[in-house]
Amino acid sequence: MTKEELKEDLWRHFFKNPRKNYNPYIYKLLDFPEYIIYDKEIMDSYKGKWREFFKNDNPIYLEIGSGSGNFAQGMAMRYPERNHIGLELRFKRLVLSATKVKRDNSTNALFLRRRGEEILSFVAENEVDGIYVNFPDPWEENEKNRVVQENFFKILDVILKKGGKFFFKTDHDKYYQDVLDLVASLDGYEVIYHTSDLHNSEKAEDNIKTEFEQLFLCKHNKNINYIEILKTK
């Protein structure tokens, strides 16, 4: 398909019916075919084969809600021997993310427009070595909508390798405590590190800041909570 044909067809991936006006960033997705996949069928066709996409045998790391891509860009640069896949829903954030990794000529970063809840459709058993969730919405009024809850660990049961890790950062003190409590109640997962003050901890030096993290630090001087969880079974 030509770019013009793709453009005509693009709305079908996101909406049931065509609309009069579209978010201009929708069309910009087409400028980054090597860094953004928005077609669910294509994503699903890579289930169990993401290493083929990256043309290497390196471990796969997933980031759910990758925002505007600062963290993905930093990880891709720091760990060239890893493949980093960010899942994000917002068009502008996807385009900003792709712009950043393209500027670096990274070949180990990719962004998918897909919900974290749908991971099992496009990631196979034991395909992932690590998962990052940074500053997810705490859904104060409706906690059952949170990304990290019991069902999330059922997904990790499948896709995360034994010995793989889940890394969680949040400004939200209750979400932090709730995840600690949840993991304590689960078989097969162990908290191996946690701090309610990441920026004054031994992990501060290695920490790659996300956009939301910068905001919380600069504007609100908020403590940042951080947890590392090991999959033991």
Binding flag, residue 93, ligand SAM (CB under 6 A):
yes
Among 73, 106, 134, 170, binds ligand SAM (CB under 6 A): 134
DSSP code at position 54? H
Q: Which member of 35, 38, 61, 135 binds ligand SAM (CB under 6 A)?
A: 135
Which of 38, 153, 166, 212 lies at the binding interface for ligand SAM (CB under 6 A)?
Answer: 212
Q: Which is nearer to ligand SAM, 2 or 142 (CB)?
A: 142
Stretch that binds ligand SAM, among 75-83, 128-136, 171-179, 183-191 (CB under 6 A): 128-136
* One-letter identity of residue 65: G
Number of residues that bind ligand SAM (CB under 6 A): 21
The smaller minimum CB distance to ligand SAM, of residues 173 and 190, is found at 173
Displacement of CA 55 from its chain's centroid (Å): 21
| DSSP SS3 for 195 | strand
Verify binding: residue 9, ligand SAM, rule CB under 6 A. Answer: no
The correct pick among 117, 140, 143, 197 for binding ligand SAM (CB under 6 A) is 117
Concatenated DSSP letters of 91-151? HHHHHHHHHHHHHTT-SSEEEE---GGGHHHH--TT-EEEEEEES----TT-GGG-SSSHH
* In contact, 169 and 198? CB cutoff 8 Å: yes
Is 146 near ligand SAM (CB under 6 A)? no
The verdict on whether 187 is a catalytic residue reads no
Q: How far is the CB of 66 from ligand SAM (least distance, A)?
A: 6
* DSSP-derived secondary structure letter, 186: S
Q: Kindly give, in sequence order, each residue whose CB lies less than 8 Å from that of residue 132, ignoring residues fewer than 6 positions away.
A: 61, 62, 63, 64, 71, 75, 166, 167, 168, 169
Residue owning tokens 């990052």: 132
Residues 50-69 that bind ligand SAM (CB under 6 A): 64-67
Helices then strands, each counted (H, E), the chain = 10, 8
Catalytic-labelled residue, pool 137, 173, 181, 206: 137
CB of 229 to ligand SAM, least distance (A): 17
Give the active site residues: 137
| Binding footprint of ligand SAM on the chain (CB under 6 A) | 64-67, 87-90, 93, 115-117, 134-137, 147, 210-213
